Amino acid sequence: MRGAVIYAPGDVRFENLDDPKILQPTDAVIRTVATCVCGSDLWPYRGAEPIGDPHPMGHEYVGVVEEVGGEVTHVEPGQFVVGSFATSDNTCANCLNGWQSSCLHREFMSTCQADYVRIPNAHGTLVATDGHPDAAFVPGLLAVSDVMGTGWYAALAAEVKPGSTAVVGDGAVGLCGVIAAEELGAERIIAMSRHESRQKLALEFGATDIISERGDEGIARVKDLTGGIGADSVLECVGTAESMRQALHSARPGGNVGFVGVPHEVQVDGEELFFSQVGLRGGPAPVRRYLPDLIDRVLTGRINPGKVFDLTLPLDQVAEGYKTMDERRAVKALLKP
């Protein structure tokens, strides 16, 4: 089969690779129907994370089951399935608590920008749809496997409630966070964005206000819009020290920040967090917990997070997908084998 391999910053190649095989009785192999490039893939692509030896890339996927191991009975060959970037057995203590992204047998997916993918813990990770979905739903279901699930978690971690005010960014996860905040009943959704196309999508998803200022000016604008005290909920979907600082200062005392961008060189000062009285929760989203609900919301047309894909490429042009996103010419690139 063929798949993406990263060699160095800026150097992603599409190559012949060994076909994945069932290694454990809990594995499945799927034929990829759609995959994509994640904002977090850009960290190594930009040289902000070590790459080491050349290795495959990608952790977002929907596909059709090709083969399953002996212990996989929830799904069977031929079914269309949605999974998560973090696999889970769905039976350990953390899974039973609803924190499947901290499953005691978790493996992070990392080979999904390819024709076929081996899914560890397939039994507890994959959720099959009723029949094969119409092609129009595929982007939305693909989004559910990561960015929409992550935006949903960010909104829950930020404790978005009916009537509350939420602040979000304009990346793919942030835009899905707008959807989540809207679905969870936020009355006011403030999108931080200076890109016209992203502003438009944020408004379409339910944003009520757009702020184009950043940093201290952005914080001041949020305060202006929230009676001087800050927002109830802030979704931090980037992972830089500056984005975390902006998030913490945009939330009101007693408010919450949900942070879902993997933090890169972020230190939170204990005394500052203390006096802010802001609640902080982050992490890899427990997407598996939300899959049945989010799949249903997509297939009933209630939400359409597939709109965050503003570029569709054949899988063999995966390098172009990275490049376009790196240059911020696309929000998110969908790849079709």
Positions touching its own copies (CB under 8 A) are 93-94, 97-99, 101-102, 104, 157, 227-229, 239, 241, 244, 252-254, 259, 262-271, 273-284, 286
Q: Tell me the closest approach of the beta carbon of residue 68 to its own copies, in angstroms.
A: 28
In the complex, the smallest distance separating the C-beta of residue 98 from its own copies, rounded to whole angstroms, is 7
Q: How many residues does the chain have?
A: 337
| Minimum CB distance to its own copies smaller for 1 or for 92 | 92
Q: Residue 227: exposed, middle, or buried by beta-carbon count in 10 A (0-12, 13-18, 19+)?
A: exposed
Coil, helix or strand at residue 40: helix
Least separation in angstroms between CB 164 and its own copies: 11
Least CB distance to its own copies at residue 250 (A): 15
Query: Please, is 268 exposed, middle or buried when counting C-beta atoms within 10 Å of its C-beta (0-12, 13-18, 19+)?
Result: middle
| Nearest-5° Cα angle at 298, 294 to 304 | 115
Contact 161, 183 (CB under 8 A): no
Cα–Cα dist 291/140, whole Å? 12
Closest CB to its own copies among residues 185, 253:
253
Q: Between 47 and 98, whose beta carbon lies closer to its own copies?
A: 98
In the complex, least distance from residue 253 CB atom to its own copies, rounded to whole angstroms: 3
CB of 79 to its own copies, least distance (A): 29
Are residues 85 and 58 in contact, defined by beta-carbon separation less than 8 angstroms? no
Residue nearer to its own copies on the CB measure, 137 or 259: 259
**What phi, psi does 28 have (nearest 5°)?**
-135, 160
Q: Which residues contact 52 (CB under 8 A, 6 or more apart)?
A: none
Residue with Cβ nearer its own copies (167 or 311):
167
**23 or 48, CB closer to its own copies?**
48
Specify the DSSP element, H or E, that contains 15.
Answer: strand 11-16
